[in-house]
């Protein structure tokens, strides 16, 4: 008989129960935030004249015709979300700093 295993198990179960109710609320809030961020990102991208076209997608690096910055609005908004995430992390990435560490 392994003494000590039961209290740990019970603790784990309690932790799960404690977390469950607030978790779903937080998930809803997070989803709302993601949706709001996404809309804001799309808006921000439309208003981003500084980003130069470089012959490939800024997000996925797919080769593009001249004067195109992104393959589609998904890449554009994902790029903006990524930029926002980097900014929140305190490490904003500028143009030319593409996927260096991935």
Q: Enumerate binding residues for Zn ion (CB under 5 A).
A: 57, 59-60, 62, 71, 75
Residue 63 bridge partners (DSSP): 56
Give 76: exposed, middle or buried? Use CB within 10 Å, 0-12, 13-18, 19+: buried
> Among residues 41 and 75, whose Cβ is nearest to Zn ion?
75
Minimum distance between the CB of residue 88 and Zn ion, rounded to whole angstroms? 22
> Among residues 44 and 71, whose Cβ is nearest to Zn ion?
71
Minimum distance between the CB of residue 36 and Zn ion, rounded to whole angstroms? 23
**Contact (Cβ atoms closer than 8 angstroms) between residue 69 and residue 76:** yes
> Among residues 40 and 60, whose Cβ is nearest to Zn ion?
60
The four Cα atoms 48, 50, 52, 53 give a dihedral, to 10 degrees, of 20
**Contact (Cβ atoms closer than 8 angstroms) between residue 80 and residue 44:** yes
> Among residues 41 and 57, whose Cβ is nearest to Zn ion?
57
Minimum distance between the CB of residue 20 and Zn ion, rounded to whole angstroms? 38
Minimum distance between the CB of residue 41 and Zn ion, rounded to whole angstroms? 14
């Amino acid at each position: 008989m392994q003494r000590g295993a039961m209290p740990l198990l019970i603790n784990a179960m309690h932790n799960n129960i404690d977390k469950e109710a607030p978790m779903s609320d937080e998930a809803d809030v997070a989803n709302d935030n993601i949706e709001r961020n996404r809309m804001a990102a799309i808006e921000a991208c439309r208003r981003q004249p500084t980003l130069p076209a470089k012959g490939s997608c800024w997000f996925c690096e797919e080769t593009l015709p001249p004067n195109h910055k992104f393959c589609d609005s998904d890449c554009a908004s994902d790029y903006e979300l990524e930029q926002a995430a980097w900014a929140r992390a305190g490490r904003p990435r500028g143009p030319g700093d593409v996927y260096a560490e991935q």
